[in-house]
Amino acid sequence: MTKYLTLEQGIKFPWQKPAKLWYGLWLLVPIIGWFALGGYWIKIIKALVAGKNKGLPEFGKFWDNFVDGIVLFVKILPLVIVVSLLEHIPLIGEILQFAVSILFVPYLLINTVITGKFEESFNIKKAWNIVIVKKFADYLIVLVKTIGYVIVYGILSIVLVGIPCLMFGEYYYFCDFYAKNKK
């Protein structure tokens, strides 16, 4: 089994450079702030996959993040629509949507961000091969750590401090998994 980052490392991740949690305030600026945060999320994903997990990256130029966020939105919108439509399949739709959302969507989103290619958001064959065929046990451990992370920062969201931690670190373990299992 591959050695992955620990739950403790993930919980500490947003706090290694706590001043950068203030970037989450862009959430309060409708639409343009949301797209800018989407662009910043791309920076976080790329940094984590590159092994730079010692704190959040610099926010950089607002409008560069804004444009990157719009581009990401356009690239992943078809995936979001397809996954949403799964719910409407009689009898098994909701189960299928849930399974696809937890087993494939994180890998496909990261793959799309890293490759920069629209078509990678639908590379189900690659995701299936890595997540299900080759590394299913590892992926389940990553999923459990992510659930733990979300629980901790979900509770801390009550006092607001958990909100930026959730936004910026939710994919911490998925990025580590992706980095160690790209091929």
Task: Report in angstroms the alpha-carbon separations of 43 from 47, 69, 82, 83.
Answer: 6, 10, 26, 25
CA atoms within 13 A on the CB side of 9: 14
Across the range 31-57, mean pLDDT stands at: 94
2 pLDDT higher than 80 = no
Please enumerate in sequence order all residues whose Cβ is within 8 A of that of 120, keeping only pairs 6 or more positions apart, or say none: 108, 111, 112, 126
Angle ∠(123,125,129) on CA atoms, nearest 5: 125
Amino acid at 87: E
For the chain, the domains span 7-180
Q: Does residue 157 come out as left (phi exceeding 0), alpha (psi in the -120 to 50 range) or beta?
A: alpha
At 109 the pLDDT is: 95
At 1 the pLDDT is: 61
In the chain, pLDDT over 70 holds for what percent of residues?
Answer: 99
At 17 the pLDDT is: 87
Q: Does residue 90 come out as left (phi exceeding 0), alpha (psi in the -120 to 50 range) or beta?
A: beta
Against a cut of 0.85, is the pTM above it? yes
In the chain, pLDDT over 90 holds for what percent of residues?
Answer: 69
Tens digits of residue pLDDT in 144-162:
999 999 999 999 989 888 8
183 pLDDT higher than 80 = no
Tens digits of residue pLDDT in 46-81:
999 999 988 899 999 999 999 999 999 999 999 999
Please give the Cα distance from 35 to 163 (Å, whole number). 17
